[in-house]
Amino acid sequence: MDSVRSDRNGGSRIPVALKILIAGGFGVGKTTMVGSVSEIRPLQTEEILTGAEGADDVSGVEGKTTTTVTMDFGRITITEDLQLYLFGTPGQDRFWFLWDELSQGALGAVVLADTRRLADCFPSIDYFEQRGTPFVVAVNCFDAEPRFGPDAVARALDLDPGVPVVLFDARDQVAARNVLIELVEYVARRQYAGASA
């Protein structure tokens, strides 16, 4: 837009971007969810293998010094000055270093769960609990599957009181959007409680 361009050097405002992580086990619907609520694009984040992490067994490929990780990246424009970035975090443990950067200053996280393989989301929950990153658990309800109520899931995951658990369908835009709203409202509640404590 021409008006924006001419404004620019007069001091156009720098937007604020907030990060939300979409985590969970492999195949649980992270990509689907990011795609439901935002324009999804791939993001390359290849990193240097230092050999210090001990996570990768590089025997036989010692010459390989970088590893390519492709993440899902989605953007939701809230206002001209406010953008919401969604990152579908890579599931494998060896990419924790990426999580550290992504969760730095993040608004919060959505941990996707599949009740058929609930244990897949344990590492994500542990991670966010340890870092103090607020998160909600969203159970992706696949078709024709026995459903468990949110309370049962919260008990099975041994969640701290107050951590929201919602059932949803990751393919449904409104449902996926509501999960994000649940997260932001939870962050606001936590902050309010923290301020008045």
Partner 1 sequence: MDQDAGPVVRPYAMTQGRVAPSGGDFDLVAFVVATVPDLAPGVQLQPEHHAIVAAAWEPISVVELASQLDLSIGVVRVLLGDLRSAGLISLYEPPAATQPHDVDVLKAVVNGLRAL
Whether the CB-CB separation of 126 and 170 falls below 8 Å is answered with no
Beta carbon of residue 30, minimum distance to partner 1 (angstroms, whole number): 16
Residue 177 makes CB contacts below 8 A (sequence gap 6+) with 36, 37
Number of C-alpha atoms within 13 angstroms, CB side, residue 88? 29
Nearer to partner 1, 119 or 191 (CB): 191
Nearest to 22 by CA among 133, 119, 118: 133
Q: How far is the CB of 148 from partner 1 (least distance, A)?
A: 26
If the CB atoms of residues 116 and 191 are measured against partner 1, the closer one turns out to be 191
**Site for partner 1, rule CB under 8 A:** 4-5, 8, 12, 14-19, 37, 41-48, 66, 68, 70, 73, 75-76, 78-79, 82-85, 101-102, 104-105, 107, 173, 177, 180-181, 184-185, 187-188, 191-192, 194-195
CB closer to partner 1, 39 vs 145: 39
Contact 22, 88 (CB under 8 A): yes
